[in-house]
C-alpha cells in the first residue's frame, strides 16, 4: 500500500534523467519555433566575420579582396589610430591585463581616476564615473537617482538601453511622442505633482540620424522645473565645433544636467561608458549604481586607448570639421539618385526601404560589390521601417563615398528600389 497520496506521485513518476531530457526537449521545441519565426519574417541577423582591424577598409571572411566599411560607429577613425593603439599597449604593459575586481574593492587604478577627470573636463562637468558600457551607465542611473516620488519623461524612440534603465526604476514613467515638444509640455504639466522631473532623450537618435531639439527641451525643462538627461553615444567626439556633442552643437552645455556616453564609438571604439554631471550625483552612483558596484573595472588597455583618443580630440578639431562635408556629400548624392535618407546632417544616414527582406538582400548584394553595410529591421526598428543604415567616417575619402553611392544605385535598380 502507498502511504497517503504517494500513489499519485508514483503514477506520474519519471526518472530524473528522463525528466531533464523531457524539459530540454520542450525548450528546444520552443526555441526552434522562435527561430523559425525570425527566419520566416526575414529579420534573421547574420554576423559577418571581419579578419582585419576596424577601419574604412577591412577584410571579411569568405569575401575576396578589400571591403569598404560603411556601417561602423568609428566616426573619427580612431579605432585603429597608431597613437591610440600604442597608448593601449603601454597601459597593458604598465597596469596589466585587468583588475580581477570591482572598483570599490581593489579595482581602481590611477588611470581610471585620470580618465574620469579628463571626461569631466571634456564635457565641462563636475565629475564622471566609468562603466563597462554605456548600456550599463543607463542601467545604473535611473534606479539609483529616481524614487517613487519622482517622474521620468522619455522620448518614445530613445535607445533600448535608456528604456531598459527606466524600467528598473520606481519613478512614474511618461513617454512623449518623438521630438514632439507640445506632447512633452503636456506630459511635464501632468508631472508637476512629482518631486523630481527628469526629461530623458538621446542627443542623436541612432536609427534615424535625427537630433533632439535640445534648445526647446531645455526651455521647457526650465519652465516646469525639470532636469535634462541626454545619451550622447552617437554625438560625443564629432558633433559641435569641438566635438563636445549635441549640447555644444545647440549651445546648451550649461542646461543639460546629466550626460551618459560611450568610449566604444568615436573615442577609440573599444568599450566602456560613463556618466558625467554634478559631483554629488556621481558620488551617489558610486554608492548605489548596481552595474558599477557589481562589474569588473574597465581593463587598463581600454582605459589607455580612450584617454589617448580624448587627448587627440582635445588637441585639435580638424578631424571633427572634416565630418560635415563628407556626410553632406553622401546624403546629397544618394538623394539625387532617388533614395530617401532619414535624419539630417548626421553621419548616420539611414537609407529607408521599408521591407525587411529587401533591406537584407540589398545589403548582401552590396557586399558582393565590396561595400559592407547592414540591413536593419524589426525589432531593432519598427515594422515597415526597414532600412540600410550607412555611417560615414572622417577617414572615408571622397572616392570611398562615391563608390558606395554607385553601388547603392546599381543594387537599388537591381531590386526595384530605384526606377
Instruction: Give the residue numbers marked as catalytic.
Output: 206, 234, 265
Nearest CA among 176, 282, 273, 196 for reference residue 232 = 273
Pairing of strands 348-354, 386-391: antiparallel
Alpha helices in 369-415 (DSSP H): 398-414
Q: What are phi and psi of 59, to 5 degrees?
A: -120, 140
Pairing of strands 227-231, 258-262: parallel
E-only strand ranges, 232-372: 258-262, 273-277, 348-354, 371-372
Structure-block grid coordinates of residue 349? 544616414
Other Cβ atoms within 10 Å of 220 Cβ, number: 21
Q: What are phi and psi of 271, to 5 degrees?
A: -170, 180
Structure-block grid coordinates of residue 98? 585587468
The 8-class DSSP code of residue 211 comes to B
Burial class for 6, CB neighbours closer than 10 Å (0-12, 13-18, 19+)? exposed
* Residue 379: cis peptide before it, omega within 30 degrees of 0: yes
Give the CA distances from residue 295 to residues 161, 351, 400, in Å, rounded to whole numbers and listed in that order: 17, 37, 40
The 8-class DSSP code of residue 387 comes to E
Amino acid at each position: 500500500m502507498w502511504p497517503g497520496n504517494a500513489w499519485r506521485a508514483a503514477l506520474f513518476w519519471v526518472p530524473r534523467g528522463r525528466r531533464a531530457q523531457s524539459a530540454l526537449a520542450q525548450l528546444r521545441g520552443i526555441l526552434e519555433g522562435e527561430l523559425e519565426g525570425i527566419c520566416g519574417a526575414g529579420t534573421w541577423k547574420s554576423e559577418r566575420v571581419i579578419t582585419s582591424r576596424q577601419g574604412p577598409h577591412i577584410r571579411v571572411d569568405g569575401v575576396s579582396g578589400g571591403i569598404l566599411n560603411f556601417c561602423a560607429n568609428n566616426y573619427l577613425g580612431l579605432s585603429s589610430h597608431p597613437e591610440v593603439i600604442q597608448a593601449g599597449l603601454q597601459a597593458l604593459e604598465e597596469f596589466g591585463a585587468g583588475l580581477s575586481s570591482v572598483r570599490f574593492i581593489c579595482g581602481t587604478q590611477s588611470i581610471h581616476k585620470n580618465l574620469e577627470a579628463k571626461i569631466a573636463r571634456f564635457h565641462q562637468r563636475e565629475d564622471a564615473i566609468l562603466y563597462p558600457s554605456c548600456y550599463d551607465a543607463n542601467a545604473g542611473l535611473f534606479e539609483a537617482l529616481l524614487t517613487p516620488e519622482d517622474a521620468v519623461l522619455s522620448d518614445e524612440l530613445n535607445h533600448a538601453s535608456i528604456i531598459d534603465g527606466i524600467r528598473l526604476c520606481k519613478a512614474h514613467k511618461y513617454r512623449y511622442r518623438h521630438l514632439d515638444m507640445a506632447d512633452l509640455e503636456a506630459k511635464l504639466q501632468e508631472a508637476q505633482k512629482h518631486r523630481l522631473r527628469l526629461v530623458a532623450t538621446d542627443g542623436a537618435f541612432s536609427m534615424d540620424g535625427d537630433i533632439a531639439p535640445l534648445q526647446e527641451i531645455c526651455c521647457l525643462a526650465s519652465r516646469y522645473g525639470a532636469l535634462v538627461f541626454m545619451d550622447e553615444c552617437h554625438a560625443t567626439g564629432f558633433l559641435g565645433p569641438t566635438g563636445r556633442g549635441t549640447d555644444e552643437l545647440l549651445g546648451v552645455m550649461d542646461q543639460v544636467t546629466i550626460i551618459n556616453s560611450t568610449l566604444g564609438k568615436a573615442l577609440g571604439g573599444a568599450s566602456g561608458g560613463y556618466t558625467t554631471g554634478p559631483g554629488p550625483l556621481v558620488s551617489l552612483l558610486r554608492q548605489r549604481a548596481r552595474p558599477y558596484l557589481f562589474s569588473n573595472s574597465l581593463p587598463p588597455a581600454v582605459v589607455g586607448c580612450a584617454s589617448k583618443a580624448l587627448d587627440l580630440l582635445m588637441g585639435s578639431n580638424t578631424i571633427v570639421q572634416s565630418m560635415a562635408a563628407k556626410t553632406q556629400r553622401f546624403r546629397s548624392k544618394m538623394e539625387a539618385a532617388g533614395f530617401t535618407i532619414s535624419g539630417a546632417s548626421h553621419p548616420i544616414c539611414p537609407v529607408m526601404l521599408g521591407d525587411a527582406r529587401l533591406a537584407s538582400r540589398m545589403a548582401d548584394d552590396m557586399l558582393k560589390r565590396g561595400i559592407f553595410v547592414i540591413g536593419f529591421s524589426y525589432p531593432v526598428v519598427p515594422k515597415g521601417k526597414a532600412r540600410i543604415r550607412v555611417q560615414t567616417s572622417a577617414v572615408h575619402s571622397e572616392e570611398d563615398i562615391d563608390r558606395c553611392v554607385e553601388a547603392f544605385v546599381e543594387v537599388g535598380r537591381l531590386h526595384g528600389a530605384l526606377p
